[in-house]
A and B are shown apart, each in its own frame.
Chain A
Amino acid sequence: MGPSLWDGLRSPVTFIGGYLGAGKTSLLNYLIAGSDTKRIVVLVNDVGDINVDASLIANHDGDTIELTNGCVCCSLIDGFAATLETVRTMPAPPDHLIVELSGVAEPQRVVPWASTAGFCYDSTVVVVDVDQIRARASDERLADTIERQIDAADVIVLNKVDLVEPARLQDAVQWLRTRTDAPMVPAEHGHVDPVLILGVDRAIPTTERSPSRDHDDAHITSTTSLTEPMKMSEATDLLESLGPEVVRAKGFVRAPGGEILLLQLVGRRCRVSIHHDDAVTTGALVVISLSDRTC
């Protein structure tokens, strides 16, 4: 293995955390069923929870489900090491790897897996049941676990907004805000604009629209030109200056010395690194923002 795996390409990894019943599985089902541009591989605790239209299922072999759109669901029953090894045997790297965490898992403890061969860490998304979160967080047995999950989130999905009165929603949001700066994306039944969870492919400066989905205009994509060379510190400053409505940002820019810098932002976490592949389009930063900021 080593450098020859997938010719050096790395699959971005997103962890989906959140307490039991928050809606992680609904989110996953929604993402894979609707995926038409990305080949997503999903790692779940119970493959039996995967619930997509039968017509989308190409093959169901024990603990692995293959969809007609190229997405694959694998079971985590053998543990991270073995399951990631299985993913590494795929001929091409997944466009995105999504890992569903158990209801009490603390994302901080599993994030290092995303740095193993063939993968790179994209983000941690935590799904919160807005109807239950205050009660859960008041449960002495669970409070610190719940808070650590929220701390770990780059993006929070506020699920089940349809089940609560606006005042209760605001209460949940205010409480969450005392604990995190992460952008909060409202959702019903775990239906979240995939662009907010998975980002865009490369740094293609196009506007994404999916008219057939029920979350039209949930996000706004804009492109900022970066024509002048930037130092790493300047690139970092730029990312940090983006407003709280920005969920994701990605772009490439030349540094004064000629090397290419990769700028990435997910939620409140930003990173600027040297990118070693010359075959990218530089000079633009694609920014994805929430269009409806209730939070």
Chain B
Amino acid sequence: MTAAVTIFRARHVRTLDPSRPVTDAVAVRDGIVIATGSVEELSGYGDVNFDDTFADRVLLPGFVEAHSHILEGHLWAHEYVGWFDRIGPDGVLRPGTTSVDDLLDRLNTLSQVIEDPGETLIVWGFDPIYFEGPRLAARHLDAVTPNRPILIFHASGHLATVNTALMTAEGFADGIEMEGVPVDADGRPLGELQEPAAMSLARTAMGTLFSGLVSAQSIGRLAILANRAGCTTVSELGIADLKNPAGRAIWHEVLDDPACPIRISLFHNAGGDFRDIEEIVAFMSSLVDNGTDKVHYGNVKIILDGSIQGFTARLNPPGYYRGQPNGIWLITPERLEELMRALHRAQVTVHAHCNGDEAVDVFCDAVEAAQGAHSWADHRHTVQHNQMTTQAQYRRMSALGMSANIFANHIYYWGDQHRDLILGPARAAAMDACASAEREGVRFSVHSDAAITPLGQLHTMWCAVNRLTASGQVLGEHECISAETALRAVTIDAAHQLRLDHRVGSLEPGKHADMVALGDDPIEVEPEAIRDIDIAGTVVSGRPFPI
């Protein structure tokens, strides 16, 4: 006997299906969309029942995040102390930490609720690029908790500040001669640990912070955060341990359960994979067989350069704002070309992290060479981040059939800094150029790179549409896009890059019944109000997950 058809009623439904873009309801059976249409129309599809969980909301396809990381779920095992307000998996808003005093108050409060007086307090997201005043040092932290070790993990990921109790516990409070550990006149470390080697001195705390990165708890928190953001498909752009069956098993354990409200696309990080190329290709081929409805494999990630705000991205002339030296490569062009050739021939889609425009050139060269050697029209190779992708590069990407995943959130979170310190006003205005991508015919999506910025497609859409920095200034008005385009960028066009557009990203017959329920339609509100739309919950495979 066929299962009954469930009709999800709503105020209206925006389907992202061009043949019926706006309608009233969605009919679902066995987790699949049967059809969208009026209630009357849908009642003809069989024995129906109604799900009115979101009857007074607007239903859209569940949002798709094509660049995120498990770190977004993992870090929330500890407390957040960043500049911007941020909501945790528990739904509680953490107000931004906007001064050293703020931070110390916060630490004091947190310290008091930890039972064991010797237990290390770890917090993350600290971002002093935004505030003035003295540089945070151990002496500030010592005033709060003389006995409890403290580790502040900065938002950049390349800096940590620790207190004297931690330095004493790890044996370097009296002094250490090492680059990345600034000391006072007496040779005693000030408490700042710069770059990974120095940060590793805080051995125990760093171990605690990064152990169990891919655990049931971390994945669970990621799922909750996604649900709160209205996101039903996420991605992990760079987990290397897919070779190990145990490394994959944990994802299935959590996600294959219908009670888990997300699907994920797991990328293999091939840049860090030094095996023989043919071995990598064979591995990718066998990996795909392990995919389920909730856990998708088959795409590859390669990192070409660093970050612009870290001055480690690879830039073409004129380079950084005041002529600072160029950044670093993370892979040689030769190895990249070799990898691309083999992966393209094996029809594996590659997403490449390219922050600087020189990196974009090198990736496009590799794609062009690969395409020249073996023809694969629907490759969907994607440039990730595209902070500095130029007009000429978008034209080239269009000709090569490449996609762009654009880091629109940067405009808000670091737009002011890019304008004033890192790139200068002209290049900053052209950052994350969504309108140009659209004009030149490059299919694109927009992302959070969670946990670098929070997972949240409404906010990312808002960034791409309005291009307002944190200080409220418009950065590059000519690159603003419409709400319609932005909505496609967080649904069907994001799904396309993951090679999942036949399964998610729009509400069409035969696709997963994945939806988000919003208080308002993002196409119908004022552009500046997009990020304030209320999110009531999601539906995944026809199962509602109200918040």
| Interface set of A (CB-CB < 8 Å, partner B) | 1-3, 19-21, 45-46, 48-49, 77, 80-81, 84, 102-104, 106, 109-113, 115-117, 141-142, 144-145
Contacts and interface: CB of A to CB of B under 8 A. Distances in A.
Contact of A109 (B178, B195, B361): B195
B330 A104 contact: yes
A89 to B, nearest CB: 13
21 contacts: A1-B170, A1-B171, A1-B203, A2-B170, A20-B332, A45-B274, A46-B275, A48-B274, A77-B274, A80-B196, A81-B196, A81-B200, A81-B206, A104-B328, A106-B328, A109-B328, A110-B197, A113-B196, A113-B200, A115-B177, A144-B326
Contacts of B362: 141
A20 B335 contact: yes
Nearest to A112: B197
Interface of B: 170-171, 176-180, 195-198, 200-201, 203, 206, 240, 272, 274-276, 314, 325-326, 328-335, 358, 361-362
A20 B334 contact: yes
B171 A3 contact: yes
Nearest to B203: A1
A77 B244 CA distance: 13
A81 B200 CA distance: 6
Contacts of B178: 112, 115-116
B171 A104 contact: no
B275 A48 contact: yes
Contacts of A84: 200
A104 B362 CA distance: 14
Nearest to A20: B332
Q: Is the interface of B mostly helix, strand, loop or mixed?
A: loop
A236 B90 CA distance: 61
The 4 A-B residue pairs with the shortest CB-CB distance in the complex, in nearest-first order: A2-B171, A46-B274, A112-B197, A115-B178
Nearest to A81: B200
A95 B329 CA distance: 32
Nearest to B240: A77
Given A2-B171, A80-B197, A109-B195, A104 B179 contact: no
B209 to A, nearest CB: 11
A237 B177 CA distance: 22
B198 A112 contact: yes
Contacts of A110: 197
Contacts of A142: 329, 333
Nearest to A143: B326
Contact of A104 (B195, B197, B325, B329): B329
Nearest to A145: B329
A145 B195 contact: no
A102 B304 CA distance: 13
B127 to A, nearest CB: 22
B116 to A, nearest CB: 21
Contacts of A113: 196-197, 200
B240 A144 contact: no
A48 B206 CA distance: 30
A112 B195 contact: yes
Nearest to A76: B274
Nearest to B198: A112
B179 A115 contact: yes
B48 to A, nearest CB: 54
A8 to B, nearest CB: 11
A183 to B, nearest CB: 24
A111 B180 CA distance: 11
